[in-house]
């Protein structure tokens, strides 16, 4: 819940010239009320637009306060976050709801960026592997092998979000390798083409080392994305 029209305009004015021509694919994911403004600001760039959430229902109707996938497409979005740790922790989103939203995104031709990750308590208790397997299997239970080519998975250890703590490259790689293995089972022959992002206090100082790992394909950037110079350095990494 960050941003204002003035802040958005300033951030993108500083950011876009620094990332023009990069080989990396870059997306920005603002709050829903700023989607139209940001789409206009990035219209002449290669930067994609994403949303932070979407409604479970794909049909229009009496769902006050919700935003459907079709509405997000109409606003210029090509991707949407699903199951972010804050949605799970603060708003009670379950594995089943996440699975439903994955289908809602796919049915409206949006790329679902499916967030999975363990809490500090789960990590301390040695449950990381079990939590990740449960969340990935649940999210993809109705996804066909062909649909799997459209998804992105983001590993965000909850204990490393906004805390300044970061999984070591080796820790992050181990979980990403686990996710890759699950994808190979759930979508045979397609796992290598599915992007797996790391999202846990990614910053300009650790991005290159994280992205050098074989199964870390990019970053889901939080606080550092609010600073144009930092975000640009991450994109360059």
Enumerate the active-site residues. Answer: 84, 156
Q: What's the 3-state SS for the chain?
A: CCCCHHHHHHHHHHHHHHHCCCCCCCEECCCHHHHHHHHHHCCCCCCEEEECCCCCCCCCCCCCCCCCHHHHHHCCCCEEEECCHHHHHHHCCCHHHHHHHHHHHHHCCCEEEEEECCCHHHHHCCCHHHHHHHHHHHHCCCCCHHHHCCCEEEECCHHHCCCCCCCCHHHHHHHHHHHHHHHHHHCCCCHHHCEEEECCCCCCCCHHHHHCCCCCCEECCCHHHHCHHHHHHHHHC
Q: What is the distance between the alpha carbons of residues 236 and 111, in angstroms, rounded to a whole number?
A: 23
């Amino acid at each position: 819940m960050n941003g204002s029209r003035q802040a958005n305009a300033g951030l993108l004015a500083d950011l876009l010239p620094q990332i023009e021509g990069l080989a990396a694919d870059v997306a920005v994911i603002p709050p829903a009320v700023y989607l139209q403004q940001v789409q206009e600001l990035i219209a002449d760039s290669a930067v994609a637009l994403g949303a932070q959430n979407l409604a479970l229902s794909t049909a229009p109707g009496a769902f006050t306060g919700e935003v459907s996938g079709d509405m997000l497409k109409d606003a210029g979005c090509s991707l949407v976050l699903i199951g972010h740790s804050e949605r799970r922790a603060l708003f009670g989103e379950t594995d089943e709801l996440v699975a439903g939203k994955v289908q809602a995104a796919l049915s409206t031709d949006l790329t679902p960026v499916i967030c999975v990750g363990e809490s500090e308590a789960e990590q301390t208790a040695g449950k990381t592997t079990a939590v990740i397997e449960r969340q990935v299997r649940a999210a993809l239970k109705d996804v066909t092998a062909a649909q799997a080519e459209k998804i992105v998975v983001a590993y965000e250890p909850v204990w490393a979000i906004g805390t300044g703590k970061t999984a070591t490259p080796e820790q992050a790689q181990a979980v990403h390798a686990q996710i890759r293995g699950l994808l190979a089972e759930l979508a045979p022959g397609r796992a290598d083409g599915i992007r797996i992002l790391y999202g846990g206090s990614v910053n300009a100082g650790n991005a290159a080392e994280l992205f050098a790992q074989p199964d870390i394909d990019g970053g889901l950037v939080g606080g550092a994305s609010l600073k144009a110079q930092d975000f640009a350095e991450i994109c360059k990494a």
